[in-house]
Amino acid sequence: MANQEDIFKKVISHAKEYGYVFQSSEIYDGLSAVYDYGQNGAELKKNIREYWWKAMVQLNENIVGIDAAIFMHPTTWKASGHVDAFNDPLIDNKDSKKRYRADVLVEDHVAKIEAKIEKEIKKAAKRFGDSFDKEQFLSTNQRVLDYQAKADAILKRMGKSLENEDLTDVKALIEELEIACPLSGSKNWTDVKQFNLMFGTKLGASADTATDLYLRPETAQGIFVNFLNVQKTGRMKIPFGIAQTGKAFRNEIVARQFIFRMREFEQMEMQYFIKPGTQKEWYETWKEKRMQWHLSLGMGADNYRFHDHEKLAHYADAAADIEFRFPFGFKELEGIHSRTDFDLANHEKYSGKKLQYFDPEENKSYVPYVLETSIGLDRMFLAVFSNSLQDEELENGSTRTVLKLPAVLAPNKVAVLPLLKRDGLPEIAEKLVDELKWDFNVDYDEKDAVGRRYRRQDAAGTPFCVTIDHQTLEDDTVTIRHRDTMEQKRVKLAEVKEIIHKEVDMRYWLQKL
């Protein structure tokens, strides 16, 4: 079996080869951690965004969507805490001259301990066979308990040190754990320093009157500053939500994992405004709802897990990540944060404007609490894309590369293929394309043998191929081929549209929620 690194390399090269993701400004040798989406990538991204928007906004009566500007008044970022606290701890290796996030070095070390636990589980499952009880094993096996205690203690200590801004202790921890630079193996580290991740820019033509601005590092603040506008004009009653998708920018210290960590990326965020004191229930509810949304795509429950935060961000009283099994292991895909009244109360303080809600049931005004769900669109793209890319052994001994994207998200839903370039077959095919294109993105392909065209569509992720052949001329039937099963069926030309609708419409997928 190919190792993780090879799989990830294949994901990156496949994304390029099939028009999904290109390095930005590639002809100038690219720009670090910035990427462009190609003809297929733009469609996949749009479909993921729409799948999220439908589930969050359209299907929830009390959630509405906005589109705030990327530029915001600079005081926003003072109030939100980003000017003072949106830092990552960085550390340099003196020998390799490579820069790392100190917390990530420690987390990677803990991941190695967790991998040892996984190994013990596998060994024991093999030894005990059907009678293996994982829960019992985890709670009684001394070796596993020791590993777990070690992992927990490390994370706890780091969480505490970061919270107390004790960067000396973070360095001490790295030294005690004997963490080496993954590149050079050297343990020769600099001190840990804080680094602010916001990009600064200027607004205005002349240097002396220009205002210093930041590119927003999260979309959430555009929602907070519009809280009252939306509440009043939409006559919203608590609890209610405001959703938004859009670009965010972070000057990430280490950005080496393709579109997992970018400097310019897109977020899909929802802020749910609630009565103070109800945050625990809403936190649990939204954790559950968001996990259901992920599971509705059918990418395997085993590939997701929750990770509760030890170290809370400056605004949160509880936080969990939904982690996904990426080609390089389980990593954060989405965050669910209980943000209390941190943001609204601070915006009140800095703006001098009241940001309160009059609750008719309680007959009083208060600053609402906020429950946030925040997912990176590009990270979701990587989750979907990497999970879908598979090499399959076929019965005849050959292999095929297939991109098993959830059909609802696939860029092209169907490819129409005339078996031959003559005898009136292309004309029928083009007529079908003209009919289907009102409902779906359709690809038309008449080049090469049909088997090769199937392979091309498999690799590009198209869920259906419809082939027009000589029999079509006689009885108006066509062959419809399913990407995942490779099953081929003869159906009436007039039924094709309906068959595809049943498999690709968001309605059928989101009904599972």
Instruction: Tell me: does residue 372 bind ligand ATP (CB under 6 A).
Output: no
Kindly state the smallest distance separating residue 267's Cβ from ligand ATP, in Å. Answer: 5
Contact predicate 481/487, CB 8 Å = yes
Q: Candidates 19-27, 224-232, 259-267, 386-394: pick the segment binding ligand ATP (CB under 6 A).
A: 259-267
Contact flag: residue 373 with ligand ATP (CB under 6 A): no
> Residue 376 annotated as binding?
yes
Q: Is 334 in the site for ligand ATP (CB under 6 A)?
A: yes
Q: Decide the pairing of beta strands 488-492 and 477-482.
A: antiparallel
The response to whether 487 counts as a known ligand-binding position is no
Smallest separation, CB 510 to ligand ATP (Å): 21
Coil, strand or helix at 316: coil
Give the nearest distance from C-beta 252 to ligand ATP in angstroms: 5
From 234-242, 328-336, 433-441, 459-467, span contacting ligand ATP (CB under 6 A) = 328-336
252 binds ligand ATP (CB under 6 A): yes
Task: Tell whether residue 271 is a contact of ligand ATP (CB under 6 A).
Answer: no
Nearer to ligand ATP, 262 or 299 (CB): 262
How many Å is the Cα radius of gyration of the chain? Answer: 26
**Closest CB to ligand ATP among residues 333, 442:** 333
Q: Which stretch binds ligand ATP (CB under 6 A): 15-23, 227-235, 261-269, 408-416?
A: 261-269
Query: Under DSSP, is residue 175 helix (H, G, I), strand (E, B) or coil?
Result: helix
Does 335 bind ligand ATP (CB under 6 A)? Our answer is yes
Q: Which of 117, 192, 225, 262 binds ligand ATP (CB under 6 A)?
A: 262
Environment class of 462 (CB within 10 Å of its CB; exposed 0-12, middle 13-18, buried 19+): buried
Distances (CA, A) of 367 to 5, 240, 275, 318: 48, 14, 8, 18
Binding flag, residue 343, ligand ATP (CB under 6 A) = no
| Residue nearer to ligand ATP on the CB measure, 376 or 411 | 376
Within 34-96, where are the H helices?
39-53, 75-79, 82-85
Helix (DSSP H) and strand (DSSP E) numbers for the chain = 18, 23
From residue 104, alpha-carbon distances to 98, 308, 482, 492 in Å are 14, 16, 42, 56
Q: Which of 241, 376, 406, 426 binds ligand ATP (CB under 6 A)?
A: 376
Binding status of residue 91 toward ligand ATP by CB under 6 A: no
Q: By CB under 6 A, which span of 333-341, 349-357, 400-408, 462-470 interacts with ligand ATP?
A: 333-341
Q: How far apart are CA 132 and CA 130, in angstroms?
A: 5
Closer by beta carbon to ligand ATP, 18 or else 260: 260
What is the residue whose two structure tokens read 């509760």? 308
Q: Is 389 in the site for ligand ATP (CB under 6 A)?
A: no
Using CB under 6 A as the binding criterion, the count of chain residues that bind ligand ATP stands at: 16
Pick 371 or 466: Cβ nearer ligand ATP: 371
Annotated ligand binding at 393? The verdict is no
- Interface with ligand ATP by CB under 6 A: which range of 54-62, 184-192, 374-382, 436-444? 374-382
Q: Judged by CB under 6 A, does residue 338 bind ligand ATP?
A: no
Q: Which residue has the tokens 């080609």?
A: 327
Q: Alpha-carbon distance 36 to 27, whole Å?
A: 13
Give the span between the Cα atoms of 448 and 469, in whole angstroms.
15
Q: What is the SS3 assignment for 347-402? A: HHHHHCCCCCEEECCCCEEECCEEEEEEEEHHHHHHHHHHHHEEEEECCCCCEEEE
CB of 448 to ligand ATP, least distance (A): 37
To ligand ATP, the closest distance from the beta carbon of 307 in angstroms equals 10
Helix, strand, coil tally for the chain in percent (to 5): 40, 25, 30
Q: Is 261 assigned a ligand-binding role in the annotation?
A: yes
36 binds ligand ATP, rule: CB under 6 A? no
Bridge partners of residue 401, in order along the sequence: 391
* Distance in angstroms between the alpha carbons of the first and the last residue of the chain: 35
Please name the helix (run of DSSP H) or strand (run of DSSP E) that holds residue 248, with its range, or none: strand 240-249
Look up residue 54 and give its DSSP letter.
Answer: I
Distance CA(14)–CA(88), nearest Å, equals 32
Query: Is residue 399 part of an annotated ligand binding site?
Result: no
| Residue 13 among known ligand-binding residues | no
- When asked if residue 267 is in the footprint of ligand ATP (CB under 6 A), the reply is yes
| Selected binder of ligand ATP within 378, 443, 458, 469 (CB under 6 A) | 378
What residues form the annotated binding site? 101, 218, 250-252, 260-269, 332-333, 372-379
Residues in contact with ligand ATP by CB under 6 A are 218, 250, 252, 261-262, 265, 267, 332-335, 374-376, 378-379
